[in-house]
Amino acid sequence: MAEAEFVSEMQIVLRLCVAAVLGCLVGADRERHEWTAGMRTYMLVAVGACLAMIVSINGFAVAIAPGAPANIRLDPSRVASQVIVGVGFLGAGTILMRNHAIHGLTTAAGIWAVAAIGLAVGGGLYIAATAATVIVLVILVALKPIERWLFARSLTRRFRLRAPRGALGFDDFTRRFPDCAQRITRFVLERDGDPSFDRIEIVVNGLSPDEVERMSKELHRLPEAQGFVEDDEPVV
């Protein structure tokens, strides 16, 4: 029986550090866009997957060392496959259905890809892991402008929210979103069931997907806004 080959302690530290760096590179782009899974999440997934692979290689190598029972076999690929399956559950937690649209698929796919990168680093496949990281970054960063150019479309969105009476009027809205001021086709302010609150309905035409995303995030953050709803149903 061949002598078991262990990964040295220096190699273990190096692989964990490389996995953290590669996970950081992918996570930094997601952090920049303020997605739920950011830089720390991607780094943790990469390091965890890398460590699982190292444990698979090192932790059970004694089972096939000279003197071990002959009927014991070591299969590191089993740990790798379980990591991929397990990370699938983590990624599923980032997928949401909102306003009849699915959000978070790219984030889930990114987490899954980073886990695979971590496994590659844990197995000592530095070139494969680095190449995969570069390809993932190209997909996430470089292809986005091309995607917008190829599939550019003009969207109409209806936004509904509640605000304390007089706290958010038409002038306040146009001041916060000057780029959209000329595209507002409807701005209705009505008294809510609670007389101290207003119900506001805003319809904006000609929005790009990025503008819809930006407006949704900023309206969510308004301290005076409550009960915010973004409606992607046809506006009639």
* CA-to-CA dists, residue 120 to 16, 48, 56, 111, 137, angstroms: 11, 12, 13, 14, 17
pTM here is 0.58
CB 77 within 8 A of CB 147: no
77-106: pLDDT as tens digits: 677 778 878 887 776 766 665 544 556 778
Mean pLDDT of the chain: 77
Which residue from 20, 10, 7 is spatially nearest to 49, judged by alpha carbons? Answer: 20
> Which tens digit of pLDDT belongs to each residue from 129-179?
999 999 999 988 888 777 666 655 567 788 888 888 877 888 888 888 888
Write out the DSSP string of 75-91. -THHHHHHHHHHHHHHH
Question: What pLDDT was estimated at residue 212?
Answer: 79
What tokens appear for 183 in the block? 């595209």
Q: Residue 233 pLDDT > 50, yes or no?
A: no
Does the residue 3 lie in any domain? no
Q: Based on the domain organization, do 190 and 121 belong to the same domain?
A: no
Element (H, E) at 163: strand 155-164
48 with 92, same domain? yes
Q: Distance between CA atoms of 233 and 236, rounded to whole angstroms?
A: 9
- Residue 198: CATH number of its domain: 3.30.70.260
Q: What is the total count of domains within the chain?
A: 2
Residue 108 lies in a domain: yes
In a domain, 1, yes or no: no
Of 67-71, 163-167, 223-227, the one with minimum mean pLDDT is 67-71
Question: In sequence order, which residues have a C-beta less than 8 Å from that of residue 131 and are 6 or more positions away?
Answer: none
Confidence at 71, pLDDT banded by 50, 70, 90: low
Q: What is the mean pLDDT of residues 48-57?
A: 88
Please, what's the largest Cα pairwise distance for the chain? 83
Final residue of a structural domain among 150, 173, 206? 150
- Residue 208 has a pLDDT of 74
**Does the pLDDT value for residue 118 go beyond 70?**
yes
Under the banding of pLDDT at 50, 70 and 90, the label for residue 34 is low
Domain range for residue 167? 155-231
